[in-house]
Structure 1
Amino acid sequence: MASLETRTGLAPVASDEPIRTQRDDLLGRARLADLIAVQAVSPAPDAGLVIALTGPWGVGKTSVLNLVEESLRAHEHALAIRFNPWLSSGADLLPARFLMTLASEFTRLGAPTSVVDAVTDYAASLSDPAAFGDGQPRGVAAAAAQVALSSEAGTRITESPRDRLARHLRPYPGRFVVFIDDVDRLEPEQLRAVIRLVKLIGDLPRITYVLAFSRERVEAALRAGDDADVGRGYMEKIVQIEHHLGATASDRLLALTLTELRAALRAITDLDDDVLDSDELVTDGVGALLTSLRQGRRWVNAATGAVWLRGDDIAVEDLLALEALRVCEPDVHGRLPAIADALTGNRAGRFDRASATAQQDWQRVQDVLAIAQNPAATRTVLAELFPAARRLLEPAFTEAVERTWRFTAPEQGEARVADPALLELYLSGN
């Protein structure tokens, strides 16, 4: 890699905020958003519907919800409502606060007064802090008691607040689509309260719920003891339609991220296009580490800062790889000082050696690899950064590892962090 000089100005920080319109859709999610919008408004008037958008953190669920809301504007009588359970002061008060949010939104959207009043009355019936004390909403328990008393007395059962709300919703010529995002980021007690809430009112007519969450995290919060099937079964009773948002194809993700990286590096360095467009700028291991556009943009920000700080001293490709470890494998990056002597083969005291045998060095490196979230990609990145330590990165310790436990210094002028002096410079300055 050619030497460079950094400029005084910094590139704009890459934002990982969710997108809001289809014109910003770089990952081709608009078609999925259109499908969810159509499904959200399709049930019969008497039916409720719960749609789940699942996927790991950072994969873009909030962006898809924003696109669904945009798509709903094309559907007559489709009314979008956002509910944020994070604002609730306690799990017990969540049902009443949710219904009061609906009442406020119904008023804003011009729903009939009868609907708003019915929602308010239902909220009042659930406002008791002990509403979920026995796992059932107080309104349900009260209704059951009323049925028993009326049966004994031979009298007519009075309409419950929930039934009254359902009766007023049925003739309304529209569909309310309620979005609840980041369900999996709630505390377990709040998360369970949200799921019980959706189960309680999920079948109210004219209302569709679109929930966004990591299935694994929600099921873990709902499970009983060690039985994971309990949480899964509970969700399957509530959710009628599920869409899973997987990771973006790695080649497409890398292409989008590299476009932003190259623009940022052009703003702060004198690297020419031949270097910036080189296949050697970003190694295979770095590409394998990145799993989401959000992660890619965090890497661009971190890497741009590192190049601006140390690009005059250390090879840019090494800085990019090290910052990819920092963003994607922070635990591994944090342990680099502990294995720096093994990775560089330093014997001269720049790094204090904790061991002096090949097997001990191999074990220390393996212990660090064991905490990696993506061990294969992490192993590749370390091998690319420290070629002479590749034997220590092998999964098994063999005679070949011990026999080749010899280190050669990097070629002069390359400014690679395989040189212990430059690795120390990076670790001390970042």
Structure 2
Amino acid sequence: MDQGNTAFLLIAAALVLLMTPGLAFFYGGLVKAKSVISMMMMSFGALGLIGVLWVLYGYAISFADGPDGAAADANFIGIDGVLGINLGEIGLGDSYAEASVTEADFPNLAFVAFQATFAILTVALISGAIADRAKFGAWMVFAGVWATVVYFPVASWVFNFTLGEDGSVVDGGWIAYTVGAIDFAGGTAVHINAGAAALALALVLGKRVNFAKGAHVPHNPPFVLLGAGLLWFGWFGFNAGSELAADGIAAIAFLNTIAAPAAAILGWLVVEKIKDGKPTSIGAASGAVAGLVAITPACAVLTPGWSLLLGAIAGVVCALAIDLKFKLGFDDSLDVVGIHLVGGLVGTLYIGLFATDLGLFTGGDASQLGKQALAAFAVLIYSFVLSFAIGWVINKTMGFRVRNEDEVAGIDTVVHGETGYVLAD
């Protein structure tokens, strides 16, 4: 076992897990003060629920053959044995964590933990589209069903792989292996997937009361900046960690995770200056996230220069895309569609143009662009259709939205019996 690679993967998993609390701060600062607890609880609710479901059966669905062909099996439920417990190997000297090691020389359970954090974050991302108006119980039901029928299968399409005896990939999910699309860290499985689901839920729940441009102002920009900083910090685990080894590919992914969001901040702020006359802290934070989203699928296949260009494009495009909700009439509260769906599409398609030795303008031909487009729109359509169906059923049965009067008053006290700011005893 390579202790260096093992430590690298475990640290990366911890960094990605930190992204969900970071997202809670990012989203929490963007809503009104009387909804901040509700917003942050949707992230923490996803953390609790999806973490449990991943151990019970999520990993078994997503990695039926495991990353080395032996870590999981389609005939059992959970990570091993029944409900994640293998009684024959625990405490008997030859533990599961030691006995099952991939060709990359780290325990399979390190890979299981790393992928768990991806599942948690992806579900939490969706919640921003329904801020200020969703019931917590309905959200939790949606999160569990969506993870089961949408995220776990899509993760298998993108992230699952089987290694041969020589360590090379011999089989895998249909998007990554059969189609041949490149998605290094989750542009399709995470961002397009969550963005399409966010659009579906925004349509199911309808618009907030008094929905109009400028009607809903972020109540705490410092929270937004803190959240963006935590997300960026965790994103190094997200992108570099997806190499599963501390090597040169991880290093280029790490550097590109600095370059693209940095350029995206500048791109977003330029658009704000031209459109509104003032660059804002919310714009800087949103630009950073847009750049991080765009570089996610491409971080290992671009040179730093092309990453800078991608970041600048993503910052500009996403800054313009967030106004689509006003033109098209859907209420995506915190711009999950404009940042994650649009940013994910930009980054995924950009690979077909500028990926080293594969892109249309960097030594390849148009075939890779076609592969990228097929992967992106397959996930988009699959996620949107099923998300809309799940949300519609929940809305028609238990109800997904709080009453209008509760929304206006602020749903923290109604749903959770708490307030975000207690200013006096």
| TM-score, normalization by structure 1 | 0.25
Larger % of strand: which? 1
- Name the larger-Rg structure: 1
Higher relative contact order structure (alpha carbons within 8 Å, sequence separation ≥ 6): 2
Larger % of helix: which? 2
| TM-score, normalization by structure 2 | 0.25
